[in-house]
Structure 1
Amino acid sequence: MKPYKACSCRDPQTKRLLGKKCPDLGKKGHGGWYARYEAPPSAEGKRRQPRIGPFDTERECKVELGKVLGTAASPKAHDERKTTLGEYLERRYAWRKSEAETGEGLAKSTLDAERETIDLYGKPGLGHIKVVDLTDEHFRELYAAMRKINRPEEQGDRSEILRRLKDARATREGKRVHSRPIGESRIRRVHAVLHGALTDASKLSKIRPDNPCDGVWRSKGGKRKQGRAKPLLWAVERVEQWEKTGVVPAKVMVWTAPQTGNFLDFAEASAERLYPALHLTAYFGPRRSELVGAEDQHLSLERGWLHVLQAQADDELDDTKTEAGWRQIPLDDETIRVHKVWHKRRLEERLAWGEAYQDSGRVYVYEDGSELKPEYLSSRFRILIERYGNIRAKAKEGWAVERIARKFRTTEAAVEVALRMVLPPIRFHDLRHGAATMLLAAGVDDKFVSEVLGHASVAFTKDVYAVVAEEMAADAVRRISAFIPRQSRLSAVSAITVPSGG
C-alpha cells in the first residue's frame, strides 16, 4: 500500500508499459504517483487490489490513500466511488417520496421544499462532484454564492458556481424563481437538506466515513449567546420619552389595549383592504407566514374557528414553524363579522376580474385572487403606521381634518381616529406579542393562550409574556384610577395640603 511512481512509457521493442521500471522516472515532472490497496473480495470471491492515481506528488497520493482506506472495509464504498452528489440526491429523494406514498414518510410540502433545494441549489451547485470528493469548502462556496443572488454583488461575480445557480433559477413555468435576495433562514434550510443527505451517504450508504457538512455553521466565538428578547409595554411614560427623543426603548415593543384598539379603528376607517388579517393577528396572534398560508378550506365562519395547518415564510408553502403550530384558533363574534365582510368583498373582486381571476384558495389574497407575499402584509402595516404619524404631524401644523384627509387620500373618520392618541411604532410581528399579552392580562388561562399562539409549551408562554402582561394590567388599573373622580380622594388631598386653623 506504499505509494510508488510510475509512467505510461512503453518499451520500444516489446511495446509493453514500463510503469515503475521506466529509467526516466527520476526526471522532474515525469510520471505520477500511484498506490494500491486491499479491497473487499468481489461477488465471486476473487481478490481485488484497486489502484488510485496518478497524483503530482507523493503527499497527495498518501492523502487520497488515507481517504480510500477509511472506506476500504465497505464493498458499497468502492462500488459508489463514482457516484456524484446529484445522483445521490435524486436516489435519496426517490426513497423518501416512496415512503411518503405509503403514508409513513414526509409531508408533501416538505418533499416539495426538498425537491426545490435539489433543483435550485444541490444539483446546479455541487451535483457534478463525486460524493467521496466533497469537502466543507464546497458547501461554504455554495452558500457564499447563494448570498450574492439578486444582490448587487451578483453583477460583478463571474464564478462558475454562481453562473450555474443563476441558470437553474432562470425560469420555472415561464418565470424567474425567487426574485428577492436569499435570506440566511433559507440557506440554513438548504443546508439541512444537504447535511441530511450526506449523513445518509455516510451512515446508511457507507459511501464515505464522514459528513463534510459538519462544522459548516459555527456559532460566533467570543460572544455570549443572547437570550430571547422579551417585550416591553408602550406605557405612558415610555411613549412620552419616545416623543421627546425618538428612541425606541427595546427591540420588541407591545401596544397597550387602547393603542391596539385605536390602530384597528384607524385601519378599518382607512378602508384598508387587508384589515381582516390585521384584526385576526391583533386578536389571536397567528404568525405572518400562517396568515399567508391559510386556505379557505381551513376557515369556518359558521363554527367559528380557523385551523392553522401550514405556513408560507418565503415563496413556498411549508409546514408550520413547530409541531405545536398545527392548531385550531377559535374566533369571536367580531372577528367572524369582519371576515364575513371580507368574504363578500372577495366575491365582488372575483366578479370584477372575471376570467383573469386567479383562485389560489387562500384566505388572504391580492385583488386578482393570487396568493400574498408575506412581506406585503408587513409593508401594508408599515404604511398605515407612517400615515398615522403624518396625519398627527399635519394636525399640529394647524391643518383641518378635511384637508388632511385629501392630502393622504383617506377618510375624515380615519383622521379623527388618528387624532385621539399617540401611536408609537411596533413591528408587524409585535401584533402577535400584543395578542399574547392582552389575552394573559385579561385573565385567560395560560394553557389556552399557549395553544392559541402555537407555542411549544405553557412554560415558554409564561416566561416570555408574564411580566409584560402584569405591567399591562397594572397600567390599566392606574388609568382607571386616574380617570374616575372620587370625592373621598379629593378630601384626603385637601386634608394633607391645607393646614388646619389655630
Structure 2
Amino acid sequence: MKPYKSCSCRDPETKKLLGKKCPDLSKKGHGGWYSRYEAPKSADGKRRQPRIGPYDTERECKAELGKVLGTAANPKAHDERKTTLGQFLERRYAWRKSEAETGEGLKKSTLDSEREALDLYLIPGLGHIKVVDLDDEHVRELYQAMRKLNRPEEQGDRSEILRRLKDARATRGGKRLHSRPIGESRIRRVHAVLHGALADASKLSKIRTDNPADGVWRTKGGKRKQGRARPLLWTAERVEAWEKTGNVPAKVMVWTTDQAGNFLDFCEASDERLYPAFHLDAYYGPRRGELVGAEEKDLSLERRRLHVLQAQADDELDDTKTESGYRQIPLDDETVRVLRAWHKRKLEERLAWGEAYQDAARVFCYEDGTALKAAYLSSRFRILLERHANIRAKGKEGWSVERIARKYRTTEAAVEAALRLVLPPIRFHDLRHGAATMLIAAGCDDKFVSEVLGHASVAFTRDVYQVLAEELAEDATRRIAAFIPRQNRLSAVGASTVPSGG
C-alpha cells in the first residue's frame, strides 16, 4: 500500500484520533509516515493488514515497506516481527545444543565458546534489538565498544552499549573475568557466531531477507588468498645447490634433525640467554605468540606439562589463534632440565636487578622481568643464524678456533659447533614446522602431534606434514647408508658368484 501521513492528534470535541484527517499534517515536522501491507491470514482465516511506522520521511517509509514486503509472503516472518535478537540467539543455541547431545552436532568446546560469545557480548550488546530491525550500524557499534573495553578510551565513553558489556563481563559463574583488552581474534570469533545466527534467520527461519553482518568484518588488504605453502626439507642436495646459487627452493623450508640439533648445540654453547625458548619451539612447536604469552603459573615442571592458554599478539595478551590452541604440551626429560636451568637463571637475574625488577610472571621475559615482544624472538633467531654463518666463513678462511672465539666473543665450543655443519636459512616460525615433521617421523601418532601443535584437525596435520616426514626419514636412511663404509661390496659380490671346483 502507498505510504501515508498520520498523527496522534484528537478531535477537541469527540476526543477521537484525527489520524490522516488532521489539518496540521501539511506543517513541517507534524505527524509521521506510515504504511500497511497485506500479511498472511491468521489461523482462523481473518485478514491481517499490519501497520509500520512512524518514519520521518516518505522515503524512509517506502524503504522499510520494501523490506517488509520481501518477507511478507512467509507467515513466519510476520509472527517473528517482535522477536528480539536475544530471543532468537537463545532459541538457536538450544537447537544446536540438542543436536550436539545426539552426537551429530557441534563439539562441546565449540558450544562453550558460542555460549560465552552470547553471554558476554551479543546478548548484552544487541539482544534487546528486534531481529528485523538489526542493521550493520548496530553490529559495528558492538565491535567498537568491544575494542574499548579495558583500554584508556573506555573511561571517557558513557555509551549504553559499553555499560552493558562491562556489566556482563564483571562476573561470570562467581568468578571475576580478566581485565585484559579484547583482541581482534576474539571479535572475529564473536562475529562468526553473529553472522551464522543471522544467516539462519534469513535463510532458514526467513525472518528477514538479508544478513546485516555481511561485509562488516573485512580482511586486511585486497590481495587474493594464496594457497597453503607446502614445506620442503633442507636435504643435503638442496643445501649444496643453495650454497652454489643462493636460491632458496621454497618459501617454507624445514631443517633436518641434524641441522636443528646443530643450531641448538650452537645456542647452548654460546650461552644464548633465550636458548630455552628455541629449544622448546624446536621440540614441540608452540607458536611465537604462545611462547612469549606463556605465564609461569601455566608451566609445571613437576608434572612435566605446559598449558597453552593464551598468546601475545603485538603487545597484548589475547586468546590462542584457534579454539584448538588451548592445549597441554607434555615435556620430555631434557626439556625439563633446560627449563629448570632457565628458572634458576631468572632467579639470579631477579636478585641482580633488585627493586628495579618488573615481574611480568611470564615463562620467557627480558632480563628485567618485563614481557618479551614477539618480534624480539625472531630478531634473536636471525642474529644467531648470521653469527653461525660468519663463524663458518672465518673457518673457511683458515682462522683457528681460538681466534674465531675471540673475534665473536663466544666460546670455543660454540665455534666448533658452527664449524661442524652448515645451517641453511629458515624463519623462526619454521621451527614449528620442523617440530611437527620430526614428531611424525619419530613415530608419534598423528592425533598426538595435532594436539601438541594445536592444529584444528588431525587431517590438517597429516595433509601438511606427512610427505615431509617421509622425506625426512628417507634422507636419514641415505645418510646412514653413506656413513657406513662398504668398500668390499663389489668384490664380495663378485667372489660369491664364482663357481666352485674345476
Please give the range of the TM-score, normalised by the shorter of the 2 chains.
0.5 to 0.7
**Is structure 2 residue 266 aligned with structure 1 residue 275?**
no
Which residue of structure 1 lines up, in the alignment, with residue 341 of structure 2? 341
Show the 5 A alignment for 1:24-423. Answer: 33-36=33-36, 51-57=53-59, 59-60=62-63, 62-63=65-66, 66=69, 72-74=78-80, 76-77=82-83, 134-136=134-136, 170=152, 188-189=188-189, 191-192=191-192, 194-195=194-195, 211-214=211-214, 228-303=228-303, 305-314=304-313, 315-318=316-319, 321-323=322-324, 326-331=327-332, 333-393=333-393, 395=395, 405=405, 408-423=408-423
The 3 A distance-change label for structure 1 pair 463 and 194 is closer
**Letter of the 1:55 counterpart:** T
The 3 A distance-change label for structure 1 pair 274 and 64 is same
Q: CA deviation at 1:337?
A: 1.7
**Letter of the 1:261 counterpart:** G
- SS in structure 2 of the partner of residue 51 of structure 1: strand
Which residue of structure 2 lines up, in the alignment, with residue 500 of structure 1? none
The 3 A distance-change label for structure 1 pair 169 and 386 is farther
Cα contact 1:366–1:372 (8 A) shared by 2: yes
- C-alpha separation between the residues in 1 aligned to 2:207 and 2:24? 38
- SS in structure 1 of the partner of residue 34 of structure 2: strand
Q: CA deviation at 1:112?
A: 9.1
Show the 5 A alignment for 1:434-445. Answer: 434-445=434-445
Q: CA deviation at 1:3?
A: 1.0
Which residue of structure 2 lines up, in the alignment, with residue 477 of structure 1? 477
- SS in structure 1 of the partner of residue 422 of structure 2: coil
**Letter of the 1:351 counterpart:** L
- C-alpha separation between the residues in 1 aligned to 2:482 and 2:380? 36
**Letter of the 2:485 counterpart:** P
- C-alpha separation between the residues in 1 aligned to 2:130 and 2:190? 19
**Letter of the 2:389 counterpart:** G
Deviations 1:393-416 (A, max 9, x none): 455566665665566554443333
Which residue of structure 2 lines up, in the alignment, with residue 427 of structure 1? 427
Which residue of structure 2 lines up, in the alignment, with residue 98 of structure 1? none
Q: CA deviation at 1:284?
A: 2.6
Q: CA deviation at 1:317?
A: 4.0
Q: CA deviation at 1:257?
A: 1.1
Cα contact 1:3–1:61 (8 A) shared by 2: no
- C-alpha separation between the residues in 1 aligned to 2:327 and 2:334? 24
- SS in structure 1 of the partner of residue 330 of structure 2: strand
- SS in structure 2 of the partner of residue 487 of structure 1: coil
Cα contact 1:32–1:53 (8 A) shared by 2: yes
Q: CA deviation at 1:278?
A: 1.1
Show the 5 A alignment for 1:489-500. Answer: 489=489, 491=491
Q: CA deviation at 1:423?
A: 0.8
Deviations 1:326-379 (A, max 9, x none): 234141x32222111111011112222334434444322333334434343333
Cα contact 1:5–1:31 (8 A) shared by 2: yes
- C-alpha separation between the residues in 2 aligned to 1:165 and 1:391? 48
- C-alpha separation between the residues in 2 aligned to 1:201 and 1:376? 46
Which has the higher mean CA deviation after the structures are superposed, 387-396 or 248-257?
387-396
- C-alpha separation between the residues in 2 aligned to 1:110 and 1:273? 41
- C-alpha separation between the residues in 2 aligned to 1:193 and 1:63? 28
Q: CA deviation at 1:31?
A: 9.2
Q: CA deviation at 1:202?
A: 8.4
Cα contact 1:36–1:52 (8 A) shared by 2: no
- C-alpha separation between the residues in 2 aligned to 1:110 and 1:376? 34
Which has the higher mean CA deviation after the structures are superposed, 234-243 or 400-409?
400-409
The 3 A distance-change label for structure 1 pair 226 and 479 is same
**Letter of the 1:76 counterpart:** K
Deviations 1:100-129 (A, max 9, x none): xxxx999999999999989xxx98xx9999
Cα contact 1:392–1:418 (8 A) shared by 2: yes
Question: What percentage of residue pairs aligned between the two structures are identical?
Answer: 64
Which has the higher mean CA deviation after the structures are superposed, 21-30 or 268-277?
21-30
What RMSD over aligned residues (CA atoms) do the two structures have, in Å?
5.7
**Letter of the 2:480 counterpart:** I
The 3 A distance-change label for structure 1 pair 443 and 26 is closer
- SS in structure 2 of the partner of residue 52 of structure 1: strand
Cα contact 1:38–1:50 (8 A) shared by 2: no
Cα contact 2:149–2:181 (8 A) shared by 1: no
- SS in structure 2 of the partner of residue 485 of structure 1: coil
Deviations 1:51-78 (A, max 9, x none): 321224374363365489696434734x
- C-alpha separation between the residues in 2 aligned to 1:291 and 1:21? 73
The 3 A distance-change label for structure 1 pair 319 and 202 is farther
The 3 A distance-change label for structure 1 pair 397 and 193 is farther
Ranges in structure 1 where 5+ consecutive residues have no aligned partner: 42-46, 96-103, 147-160, 496-502
Q: CA deviation at 1:308?
A: 2.6
TM-score w.r.t. length of structure 1: 0.65
- C-alpha separation between the residues in 2 aligned to 1:106 and 1:354? 45
Cα contact 1:34–1:54 (8 A) shared by 2: no
Cα contact 1:291–1:364 (8 A) shared by 2: yes
The 3 A distance-change label for structure 1 pair 457 and 111 is closer
- The size of the alignment, in residue pairs, is 443
Which has the higher mean CA deviation after the structures are superposed, 409-418 or 21-30?
21-30
Which has the higher mean CA deviation after the structures are superposed, 210-219 or 360-369?
210-219
- C-alpha separation between the residues in 1 aligned to 2:148 and 2:326? 34
- C-alpha separation between the residues in 1 aligned to 2:118 and 2:320? 13
Which has the higher mean CA deviation after the structures are superposed, 352-361 or 247-256?
352-361
- C-alpha separation between the residues in 1 aligned to 2:120 and 2:386? 37
- C-alpha separation between the residues in 2 aligned to 1:9 and 1:449? 74
- C-alpha separation between the residues in 2 aligned to 1:30 and 1:459? 65
